[in-house]
A and B are shown apart, each in its own frame.
Chain A
Amino acid sequence: MPSPAHLDALEAESIHILREVLACFRRPVLLYSIGKDSQVLLHLLRKACYPARLPLPLLHVDTTWKFREMIAFRDRLAGSGEFELLVHVNEDGVRRGISPLRHGAAVHTDVMKTQALKQALDLHGFDAAIGGARRDEEKSRAKERVFSFRTAQHHWDPKRQRPELWRTWNTQLQPGESVRVFPLSDWTELDVWRYIRRERIEVVPLYFARERPVVRRDGAWLMADDERFALREGERIESRRVRFRTLGCYPLTAAIESDADTLDAVIAEMQRSRSSERQGRIIDHDGAGSMERKKQEGYF
C-alpha cells in the first residue's frame, strides 16, 4: 500500500481548490449526490472553511428514483441544521411521467438529471458548482479540468477549456458563464475509500453487503426498492447478499454480490476486484465516447 502521506497530499490539494472557489466566486454551490464522493467533498469543505460554518448551500438534484435509503440518509444529515440543503426536481419531467423503467436510461437521465441540473443552476444563479467527479472514473474524464467551463447554455466545449498550469487557476468568467469544479479530480476510488476509513466519514449503508431483495435483469442484479419496480415475465425477487459500488437511480444501478460488510472488507474487496467502478452504471454502456457526449450536453 502507498504511504498514508499521499492522502494528506490529496486532502491538502482539494482544500486548496475549495478555498479558491470560496474566494473567487459570487455564488457557489456544492452538488450533493448523497454518494461516497459527495460525503468526502462535504467533509473536505468543512475542513476548508473551518472554523466557519459551511458558507455555501448543498444542491441535490432528485430524479425521484433514488434509493429510499439515500433519501433517508440525506434528510437525516440535513436535519442537523449544519447547512442549507436545496432539493430540485424537474417538475415538468414528473408531469410527463418520465421513468427509467419506461423511457430508458438515456431519456430519464437527460430529463431528470441533466435538464434538472440546468434548471436548478439557472434558478439560483450559481456561478460555480462543486462536484465529486474523478478523472479515474472514465476515459473521457481523464482530460477534464479542475475548473471546467460551461457556456451560458451549460454546454461543455472541449476546445474552449483552459490550460491549467501549476495550481494557478483562471477563475474569470464572462457574463452568463459558469464553472464546474472538481476538487477530487486526482483521487482514485481506492483513495476515496481509504480516506473515508481514515476520517471515519459516514456513508449510505447501501455500500455495504447485506441481504437485499434483488431481481436478475439483463445480466445485472437490480434492487426492487419500491412498488414502481414491476416484475417482467419470468422474473422473481430473490434475497441476495449484495452491495453497491456506486449509487444512483435504483433501476439504473447494478448491485454486486459481495460479503464485504465493513469498510475494511470493502477496501480489501476492491483491491482484489477485477472490474472498474462504473461498470455498475447502466448509462455508460451506450457506446464508446458516450460520456463525452453526455458531458457536452451538460450531464455532470
Chain B
Amino acid sequence: METGLLRFVTCGSVDDGKSTLLGRLLYDAGMLADDQLDALRRDSRGRHGDAALDFALVTDGLDAERQQGITIDVAWRYFHTAKRSFIVGDCPGHEQYTRNMATGASQAALAVVLVDARKGLLAQTRRHTYICALLGIRQVVLAVNKMDLAGFDPGAYASVVEPYRALAASLGIAAVHALPVVAVDGDNIGQRSARMPWYDGPCLLELLETAPTQIAPSADFRLPVQWVNRPTPDFRGYAGTVCGGQVARGDEVLVQPGTQRARIARIVTADGDLEHATGGQAVTLCLDRELDVSRGDVISAAARPAPVADQFACHLLWMGDAPMLPNRSYTFRLGTCTASARVTTIKHKVDVHTQAPLAAQRLELNEVGCCTVDLDRPVAFEAYADNRTLGGFILIDRQSQATVACGMLDFALHRASNIQWQHTDVDKAMRASAKGQRPQCLWFTGLSGAGKSTVANLVERRLAALGYHTYLLDGDNLRHGLNVDLGFTAEARVENVRRVAEVAHLMVDAGLIVLVCVISPFQSEREFARGRFGADEFVEVFVDTPLAECERRDSKGLYRKARAGELRNFTGIDSPYEVPPAPELHLRTAGQRPEQLADQVIARLRLG
C-alpha cells in the first residue's frame, strides 16, 4: 500500500558531509522557517567566523554533540514536498554508534549512503551498508558527495559507483540508485545540477519522491494481539496492528502458537466496521466464537499459518554496555509477545567491516553474531527478511531492564518440532501428595564462606527429622560431577547456575523439598532460576555475611589464595556479587548462631 510517507535514513560520517546534505535537503524542500534560518546564521558565524550557512547545524541537536561536533544519537527530521511526506533518521557514523544506526535502519524503507568522491569506498561504507542490509533495507541511494573537489569528473564518480554496486549486490541489496552531488552547494539535491551534465538522472529529492514506501510486503495475514478489549460482557475484541497480508470478514484464522480456529466476525474501528484490513492498519478483531486469546498471540490466516518454534538461528547485534554471556537468561520481546530467552551458541561473530566470520566466546557492544536462541516456550514468528515485526526481536537485561540487543530471526531450528514434550500420567501433584508435602526450592545465595551450606545442612536435618523428603544440592559438590567441565568465568558461572536450577526443577517436580547452596552471584541467573518454578515454590534465602567476615573465617583457604592472585574470578575479590534486591528471606548472620538462622528459615516455610 502506498502510504504517502517515506521513512529513510542517512548513513555516512561527519567528514562525508552527511549533516550538511540533510540540512541542505530541508532547506531545498523549503522546510526551514525564517527564525530557524536566523538562528542558523547566528550559529554558523559563531562557529566558523564566516557568513556561509553551516547546514550541518540544522540537524545537530543535543548540547553535548554540538560541542563535540559529532552526532551521537538518531535524530528524526520531518519534511514534505508536494508529493509526499518524509521522516528521516540522521544516524551517527562512527563505529561506536553502530547500535544507533541499526535503530534508525530498523524503521527505514530506504537508506541514503554518502561517500566522499575523493576517498572512495571506505571500511565504514562497507559497515554502514552491512548494517542497513542486516536490518532489512533493500533499496539504497548512493550519494557521491564533494564532486566539486573531484573536479566534477565522471571517472572519479564511476570509480565509487561500480565497486559499491558489487558490494550492495553481495549483501542482498537489490536496488541501488547512484548520483553525484555537492551537498554544500545543493547540486543534485533539490534540483538537477548544471555543473554535471553527464549525469542525466533524477536529483535526490526526486528519487525520494518516487521510491517505494513499503518496507517488506508480506503476503500472509498476521496480526499480533496487542491488547484484549473487553469493555462489556458481550464484547471481546483483539486489538492490534496488521503486520502482514490482508484479512476480510468471514476469513478463517488460527490463533498461534496454539491450534484454536475461528472466523472473523467483525473488523472494528472507531470509524465503523471494515470489510477488509491490510498491513499497517490498527484494528480490533472479533471472532465468531469464544477462544482463549491474550496479548502476544498472533492471529494468522488459517490456510497459511506462521511457523512456530522455540529455538532459532538468528543474527544478533549487541547493544549493551556489558557483554552478552551465552546461556544467561534475558527477557525476549518479539512483536507483542514476551518470553524468556538464552543465547545458547555463538556460531561466529561477523566483522562488520569485511563481513568475515570470526570465532567468539561472547559478544561485546556493537558486535554482530550469528547465534542460536532458545526460548522458554514456542512462539509464532516469520523470518526477518519476510516480516520485520514477527522476525525482529529485542533482548532486555533482567536486572537493569535496559534493551541490550536486537536480533533478526533467520529460521527455526528443528529441535523444537522434532522433540515433543512427553506426557506422563503421574504428575507433580500426585508425587507431592504421596509424600504429604509441598515441594519447593530453597535457594541459598551468598559469598563463599558466608555459611550457606552450614545453615542449609541444619535446615535439612530438621526437615528430615520431621519426616519430610528433601535433597541438598551443593554447588561445590556438583562441580565434582555434573559441572566438572565448568570453570569460574562469568560465562561458566551462568551455565553453572542454569544447570543447578534445572536439576532443582526436576527434583521439585519429583515432589522433593530441595535446598540449593550455590554462590549464584548474578541477579539475572537467580531470576532465571526463580522463573523455573511456580510463584510459591521458590524461596530465595540471602545468607548475608560481610566480605571481611568471610575472609576472616576463610575455612577453605580460598580467600587467601585469591588475594595472593592464585585464584582468578573469585566472587567478592575480582568478580562481583550482586546483592539480591528482594529475597524472600534475608539472613543477617552477624552475631547469630547457625541454629538461630536455621530456625528463621524453618519459620518461613510452608511445608504442609
Residues of A in contact with B (beta carbons under 8 Å apart): 1-6, 8-13, 15-16, 19-20, 22-23, 46-53, 135-136, 139-140, 142-143, 158, 160-168, 170, 172-174, 177, 185-186, 188, 190-191, 273-276, 279, 288-289, 292-293
Contacts and interface: CB of A to CB of B under 8 A. Distances in A.
Contacts of B333: 168, 170
Given A170-B403, A276-B36, A142 B84 contact: no
Interface in B263-315: 268-271, 280-282, 284, 295
B463 to A, nearest CB: 33
A19 B282 contact: yes
Considering the complex of A and B, which 3 residue pairs feature the smallest CB-CB distances, nearest first?
A3-B4, A52-B231, A6-B4
B241 A12 contact: yes
27 contacts: A2-B5, A2-B81, A2-B83, A3-B84, A4-B4, A8-B281, A9-B5, A12-B281, A15-B282, A46-B270, A47-B270, A47-B271, A49-B229, A50-B284, A51-B270, A136-B77, A139-B60, A162-B402, A163-B102, A165-B103, A165-B106, A165-B392, A167-B241, A275-B34, A276-B36, A279-B33, A292-B62
Interface size band for B = 35 or more
A16 B226 CA distance: 8
A2 B231 contact: no
B2 A140 contact: no
Contacts of A191: 85
B99 interface: yes
Interface string B197-222: 00000000000000000000000000
A275 B270 contact: no
A211 to B, nearest CB: 26
Contact of B268 (A50, A173, A177, A289): A50
Contacts of A164: 103
A140 B61 contact: yes
A4 B282 CA distance: 17
Contacts of B394: 165, 168, 170
A186 B78 contact: yes
A279 B36 CA distance: 9
B76 A2 contact: no
A186 B280 contact: no
A163 B103 CA distance: 6
Given A12-B281, A19-B226, A292 B63 contact: yes
Interface in B73-87: 73-78, 80-85, 87
B215 to A, nearest CB: 10
B409 interface: no
A19 B5 CA distance: 22
B364 interface: no
Contacts of B5: 2, 5-6, 9-10
Nearest to B319: A163
B66 interface: yes
A188 B282 CA distance: 20
B4 A2 contact: yes
B244 to A, nearest CB: 13
B446 to A, nearest CB: 23
Interface string B383-424: 000001100111010001111001000000000000000000
Given A9-B5, A160-B402, 11 more contacts: A2-B83, A6-B4, A10-B5, A49-B229, A49-B231, A52-B231, A143-B62, A163-B103, A188-B85, A289-B62, A292-B62
B443 to A, nearest CB: 21
A275 B33 CA distance: 5
B61 A6 contact: no
B344 interface: no
Nearest to B241: A16
B231 A163 contact: no
B107 interface: yes
Contacts of B227: 19-20, 22-23
Interface in B54-96: 59-64, 66, 73-78, 80-85, 87, 90
Given A9-B3, A16-B241, A168 B269 contact: no
A48 B231 CA distance: 13
Given A142-B75, A168-B333, A274-B33, A12 B401 contact: no
A51 B3 contact: no
Contact of A143 (B74, B81, B280, B402): B74
B340 interface: no
B280 A12 contact: yes
Given A6-B5, A8-B3, A140-B62, A51 B35 contact: no
B76 A143 contact: yes
A152 to B, nearest CB: 13
B336 interface: yes
A12 B280 CA distance: 7
A173 B400 CA distance: 9
B100 interface: yes
Given A23-B226, A50-B270, A168-B333, A9 B4 contact: yes
A2 B31 CA distance: 14
B396 A170 contact: yes
Contacts of A273: 33
Contacts of A170: 333, 394, 396, 401-403
Contacts of A136: 77-78
B100 A163 contact: yes
A65 to B, nearest CB: 25
B331 A172 contact: yes
A47 B78 CA distance: 25
A274 B78 CA distance: 16
A174 B80 CA distance: 39
A173 B4 CA distance: 36
A51 B85 CA distance: 31
Contacts of B84: 2-3, 6
Contacts of A6: 3-5, 84-85
B231 A51 contact: yes
Interface in B5-28: 5
B396 A12 contact: no
A289 B63 contact: yes
A135 B35 contact: no
Given A9-B280, A142-B75, A186 B87 contact: yes
A166 B73 contact: no
Contacts of A172: 331, 396, 401
Nearest to B36: A276
A157 to B, nearest CB: 12
A143 to B, nearest CB: 4
A162 B39 CA distance: 30
A149 to B, nearest CB: 9
A184 B388 CA distance: 22
B449 interface: no
Contact of A23 (B85, B99, B336, B402): B336
A1 B82 contact: yes
Nearest to B73: A143
B35 A163 contact: no
B335 interface: yes
Contacts of A22: 227
Most chain B CB within 10 A, of A165, A185, A273, A275, is at A165
Contacts of A47: 269-271
Given A135-B76, A292-B62, A52 B229 contact: yes
B240 interface: yes
B389 A166 contact: yes
A1 B83 CA distance: 6
A170 B338 CA distance: 10
B77 to A, nearest CB: 6
A158 B392 contact: no
A47 B271 CA distance: 8
A220 to B, nearest CB: 13
